[in-house]
Amino acid sequence: MAYELPNLPYDYTALEPHISKSTLEFHHDKHHASYVSKYNAAVEGTDHDSKPIEEVIKAIAGDASKQGLFNNAAQAWNHSFYWNCMKPGGGGQPTGPLADKINADFGSFDKFVEEFKNAGATQFGSGWAWLVLDNGTLKVVKTLNAENPMTSGQTPLLTMDVWEHAYYLDYQNSRPGYIDTFVSSLINWDFVADNLAKAS
């Protein structure tokens, strides 16, 4: 039961000028495709082959002997999730129950933005910034390399990729510029709200 590389949920040019066609082609067609291919090759013929990828990620997290498999599994999942966290004409502020929950758990939307941007900016090296649901409370966390909050019992609602390949062609070494644009112009709040509704 191979894990399939999902198609992008939008055209390669749909996120321009914020994320270029070139970035999406390299990021999706090369980086993401490589993680998926290596994961499928690694689990073929093993007990993990028939399991959902989320189950595999949770089962092998923290096992040093399975680090290579974990990295490709988690990166395959993280990227599939990340594409859905963006949309053309995204950004702005959420509404409805998600907005209420953010205000309740962070104090304000601006406070959430501050924490989320800071998580992305202060993640040393490669990694991810996340909005998660943790025992009923929204939290911002950051993870190194391929790590995923689901291995800590948290439910991912939103992620921002801060590996250099996510932004370098468009923003060069200005990770803060990419982060600002991600929050202001790219976040798919409908996807985040749907994730919260399913997790609540």
Residue-wise pLDDT tens digits, 103-134: 999 999 999 999 999 999 999 999 999 999 99
Are both 101 and 50 inside the same structural domain? no
| DSSP assignments along 132-150, one per residue | EEETTEEEEEEEETT--GG
Question: Which among 161, 130, 127 has a CA at the least distance from the CA of 145?
Answer: 127
Name the residue range of residue 80's domain: 21-84
Are both 70 and 117 inside the same structural domain? no
Q: Is the pTM of this model over 0.85?
A: yes
Judging by beta carbons within 10 Å of its beta carbon (0-12, 13-18, 19+), is residue 158 exposed, middle or buried? buried
Q: Is residue 121 part of a domain?
A: yes
Q: What is the distance between the alpha carbons of residues 88 and 106, in angstroms, rounded to a whole number?
A: 26
Residue 1: per-residue pLDDT: 66
Q: Is residue 180 part of a domain?
A: yes
Q: Is residue 148 part of a domain?
A: yes
Are both 111 and 174 inside the same structural domain? yes
Question: Which among 99, 188, 175 has a CA at the least distance from the CA of 142?
Answer: 175
Q: Is residue 25 part of a domain?
A: yes
- Residues annotated in the binding site, as ranges? 27, 79, 161, 165
Confidence band, pLDDT 50/70/90 cuts, at residue 200: confident
Q: What is the distance between the alpha carbons of residues 93 and 19, in angstroms, rounded to a whole number?
A: 20
Question: Which among 125, 142, 150, 157 has a CA at the least distance from the CA of 70?
Answer: 150
- Residues annotated in the binding site for Mn(2+), as ranges? 27, 79, 161, 165
Question: Which among 35, 189, 13 has a CA at the least distance from the CA of 102?
Answer: 189
Q: What's the domain count of the chain?
A: 2
Are both 51 and 139 inside the same structural domain? no
CATH number of the domain where residue 135 is located? 3.55.40.20
Residue-wise pLDDT tens digits, 153-177: 999 999 999 999 999 999 999 999 9
Dihedral of the alpha carbons of 59, 3, 45, 52, in degrees to the nearest 10: 40
For residue 187, give the 3-state DSSP assignment: strand
